[in-house]
Structure 1
Amino acid sequence: MRREDVKTLLGQAADRLPEPDLADAAWAGGVDIRRRRRRSTVAALVLVVLIAVVAALVAGFGGGRAGISPPTTLPSVLTGQIPPTGQIAGLDFWIAPPSGSEAYLDRVATPLGDSLRLPNDPAALQDEPLDQIAAVVLSDPPGPFEPLLLGKNGRWARADVQLTEINTGPPLSAGAVSPNGRFVAFPQHGAVIVVDATNAGVQRFNVPAQDIRSVSWLPDSDRLLLGGPDVAYRILTGQGGFGERSVTELDPSSDPDAVTAPYRLGGGVGQVQLLRYAMNGGWFLTAKPELPAEAWVGQTFTGGNTAARLLVSSRLPQVVTAASRPQMVAAISAQPNRPSRLLVLGETPSATPPPTPGPAAPEIVREPGCCFVLGWFDDNTVLVQVQGWVISWELSTGKVRRVTELEVSRVALGPGIRG
């Protein structure tokens, strides 16, 4: 190819290319610039609005206009609090969900699971000891009762102990598990048997009275209180007695379940007292709450500085019942600056109007003795046994949740329930 032929060939190749539309290119460039400018303008406007909102909030909470006070609490819908239903004897009270609705409540996750039932083949405690007890149940008759211990890890173990029935039935008291979760105590005729879950050790302590019905540990987990009709004892189970007798007789009570520590709650209308236990063997007055108590059920359990026990009342205008007397969990604070609260366990009313054909459905009645306090999940949450269930009541919010469905006749809970 000659040099002078290159120019001719380039010209022929260029003739085959489409001619660019410079007007379209200019228009596309202008649209792109306009979009960028629009986005910048919108961003600037959003920033101005945010600055204005922040300024308004600062002005409102920092004083703002005269006569306008900033809110001091968040709305209950934001905090999750349930407003109290009303007041009884000057104390806020909540109505618990009706009997039969427990399965539909939110659940608290614990080693107890959805349903607490007897294990099929638990290991021997001496072979697989437990660090901390979550719950204790007893084997079914016939034959002697055997303790079955549930650890905080969800594992069951059987203690090699033969227990006999006491005057009130199976020998398991709600206060059986020590505060440290290591020991469990069982009332027997004229004695108490203590099992160490960490090494399967067993101790027996004899007492003069034969009819022993309740056990309650002191906070140190080294001493145990026993209660029976008009008798009470303190048992030293640990090593820190410093000359203390192993069995000490205490001031008795006609109510065996009233013998508890560190607080006990009891007394009739106009005479209700919150008493604190002292190591000299007596209880001293801490508070006199105005409660409409005609009777008390179960033991007193203490969380932090609040004592909880279930009371039975006469008819109250604030609590509508058709077939039973009101029952309520009283959570009474030992500190004057902390509020005391009540949880009413009402009855489920009959169907209104009645289905046709046929009569109205009967009330689901919680009779006295069906329900009682089992302990505390933490210092803010009480654990309560109701018909066939364990529920929790959160004092700070009023919320009631389900813990587990009971397929056992009796249960005692320990600190290992927190897992």
Structure 2
Amino acid sequence: MNETDLTRLLTRAAEDVRPTRPAAAGWERARRVRRARRAAGAAAVAVALIGGGTTALLHRTAPPLPAPAVSPTSTAPPVQQPPATLDQRDDPLGRLGGRVGTPLSARPVGRALALLQPIDRESGAAGTIRILGDDGVVRALDVVTLAPTRDADGNEAAPLKPGSLSPDGRTAAFAQTGEVVVVDLTDAGVRRYPLAGYLEHVVWAGDRLLVGDNDTTYELDRRTGTARPLPVDPWGLVVPEPAHPGDLLSLGSPEDLLAVRRFPAAGGSPDRRPVTNDELPTGYRLNEVYGRGWQRGDRIAEAGWITTGTMSGVEGVAVLDARTGAVTRLLDLGRKDRAKTCCEVLGWSADGAVLFRYDLGGLARWQPETGEVAWVAHDVDGLVALPAN
């Protein structure tokens, strides 16, 4: 038997011999497995680091892709109705009906959220104007005594108007016969601007102040006190969005045809778009508007009387496309237990809801894109002015 055959014989014999120390052999095999796993793990980490570094480098050198634009979608039909019982929404305006805590002269505001002039339901007497500050405190306007506005025939109205509060909430303006009174709410200062006429309207267009009598709108230069006439109907003048105060819009029916008119800031003839109801279900239409219209982008919110197919003269709130005159949304408020001109629009909220007077003593908000209608404030009998958003 040569050496090679002897080696083969001994190898076969050893294959069936179990190790004399099986535990030690097992641990040795386990150590070998662990070493192999560590090596594989280290290699994987190295690959990941290299890949991650490459990815980070690519991210640094290549600009990120822009996020896709998301268009708001509407989940509500064109014609909507409020629920029988409205939910109460937590809103800073909920404090507007609270008690007066201090006069303005003793504690001016940083910014006013709203103005309120209480009106007695029985006598119709107007009370002292109140100011709700951004600190939640209600103040009394004590630095000026305001008379009712009046026309040439002697008809009177309370001096607070829906457009009285400036968009930044720092200034309030009041039309008076023969003058305009401007109050700086941050220092309680008062300035008077003489302007001939039976003045009744005030509207802020950004930081521009527009004042109107029965048939003329003026732009008042508060630095010089001079005023220039504008070819805009003061009754139909829409409160502009503060970010776009250039062109002015009006909504009304001076020619027995409801229409949206756009008056270019550069001058020239206005663009006129008749109001249409084609986007509403058959039988629904906006017949007439009242109160002040409010602009937000290319939309106008306005209260008015509507036809619902079987009934006319129904109270409602409409949203119109200012570019085309089309009524795109309609809130049908019905006729049950509703006083005439119950539901004047008071502006837009920051999140795109329409704020409006809802019956006696209450303010509500309507979200046209979802159909939500909720209470915002109670116990606010009287006239309310909100800043344009």
Tell me: CA distance 1:281–1:369, structure 2 relative to 1, closer, same or farther (3 Å): farther
Q: C-alpha distance in 1, partners of 2:292/2:252?
A: 10
TM-score normalised by L of structure 2: 0.66
What residue is the counterpart of 1:231 in the other structure? Answer: 216
Of 254, 263, 267, which residue of structure 1 is paired with 2:249? 263
Of 363, 371, 386, which residue of structure 2 is paired with 1:413? 386
Contact 1:269/1:293 (8 A) holds in 2: no
1:393 aligns with 2:333: no
How do 1:142-291 and structure 2 match up within 5 A?
A: 146-159=128-141, 160-167=143-150, 168-210=156-198, 212-219=199-206, 221=207, 223-237=208-222, 239=223, 246-251=226-231, 253=233, 256-258=235-237, 260-261=239-240, 262-267=248-253, 271-279=257-265, 284-285=270-271, 287-291=273-277
What residue is the counterpart of 1:370 in the other structure? Answer: 342
Contact 1:124/1:158 (8 A) holds in 2: yes
Give the secondary-structure state (helix, strand or coil) at the position aligned to 2:220.
strand
Q: C-alpha distance in 1, partners of 2:115/2:128?
A: 10
- 1:227 Cα deviation from its structure 2 partner: 2.4
Tell me: CA distance 1:175–1:165, structure 2 relative to 1, closer, same or farther (3 Å): same
- 1:307 Cα deviation from its structure 2 partner: 1.1
Tell me: CA distance 1:150–1:208, structure 2 relative to 1, closer, same or farther (3 Å): same
Give the secondary-structure state (helix, strand or coil) at the position aligned to 1:208.
strand
Provide structure 1 residue ranges, at least 5 long, that are not aligned to the other structure: 1-78, 85-91, 349-363
Of 136, 140, 145, which residue of structure 1 is paired with 2:115? 136
Q: Which has the higher strand share?
A: 2
Contact 1:176/1:216 (8 A) holds in 2: yes
Q: C-alpha distance in 2, partners of 1:368/1:265?
A: 20
Contact 1:263/1:275 (8 A) holds in 2: yes
Contact 2:237/2:250 (8 A) holds in 1: yes
Of 327, 342, 345, which residue of structure 1 is paired with 2:315? 327
Q: C-alpha distance in 1, partners of 2:184/2:225?
A: 21
In the TM superposition, what whole-angstrom CA distance separates every residue of 1:166-194 from its partner, at most 9, and x where no partner exists? 23421111111111111111121122211
Give the secondary-structure state (helix, strand or coil) at the position aligned to 1:258.
coil
Contact 2:117/2:126 (8 A) holds in 1: no
- 1:130 Cα deviation from its structure 2 partner: 1.2
Contact 1:147/1:161 (8 A) holds in 2: no
Provide structure 2 residue ranges, at least 5 long, that are not aligned to the other structure: 1-72, 151-155, 241-247, 278-284
Contact 2:126/2:158 (8 A) holds in 1: no
1:309 aligns with 2:290: no
Q: C-alpha distance in 1, partners of 2:215/2:268?
A: 15
In the TM superposition, what whole-angstrom CA distance separates every residue of 1:329-386 from its partner, at most 9, and x where no partner exists? 22112356x98212122123xxxxxxxxxxxxxxx2x243222100111252110112
Give the secondary-structure state (helix, strand or coil) at the position aligned to 1:384.
strand
1:383 aligns with 2:355: yes
TM-score normalised by L of structure 1: 0.62
Q: C-alpha distance in 2, partners of 1:245/1:204?
A: 9
Tell me: CA distance 1:258–1:127, structure 2 relative to 1, closer, same or farther (3 Å): same
Aligned length: 294
How do 1:51-130 and structure 2 match up within 5 A?
A: 83-84=76-77, 92-97=78-83, 101=84, 104-113=85-94, 116-117=96-97, 119-120=99-100, 122-130=101-109
Contact 1:118/1:139 (8 A) holds in 2: no
Of 281, 291, 296, which residue of structure 1 is paired with 2:289? 296
Tell me: CA distance 1:257–1:146, structure 2 relative to 1, closer, same or farther (3 Å): farther
In the TM superposition, what whole-angstrom CA distance separates every residue of 1:212-259 from its partner, at most 9, and x where no partner exists? 22211102x2x111223222211123x5xxxx8721122253x62536
- 1:390 Cα deviation from its structure 2 partner: 0.9
Q: C-alpha distance in 2, partners of 1:294/1:144?
A: 31
Contact 2:82/2:332 (8 A) holds in 1: yes
What residue is the counterpart of 2:153 in the other structure? Answer: none
Tell me: CA distance 1:327–1:140, structure 2 relative to 1, closer, same or farther (3 Å): closer
What residue is the counterpart of 2:280 in the other structure? Answer: none
Q: CA-atom RMSD, angstroms?
A: 3.3
Aligned sequence identity (%): 28
- 1:260 Cα deviation from its structure 2 partner: 4.4
Contact 1:106/1:402 (8 A) holds in 2: yes
Q: C-alpha distance in 1, partners of 2:203/2:290?
A: 15
Of 304, 315, 329, which residue of structure 2 is paired with 1:341? 329
Give the secondary-structure state (helix, strand or coil) at the position aligned to 1:112.
helix
What amino acid is the match of 2:133? G
Tell me: CA distance 1:397–1:286, structure 2 relative to 1, closer, same or farther (3 Å): farther
Contact 2:200/2:213 (8 A) holds in 1: yes
Tell me: CA distance 1:116–1:282, structure 2 relative to 1, closer, same or farther (3 Å): farther
Q: C-alpha distance in 2, partners of 1:260/1:127?
A: 31
Contact 2:171/2:185 (8 A) holds in 1: yes
What amino acid is the match of 2:383? R
Tell me: CA distance 1:229–1:294, structure 2 relative to 1, closer, same or farther (3 Å): farther
Contact 2:210/2:218 (8 A) holds in 1: yes
Q: C-alpha distance in 2, partners of 1:95/1:132?
A: 34
What amino acid is the match of 1:267? S
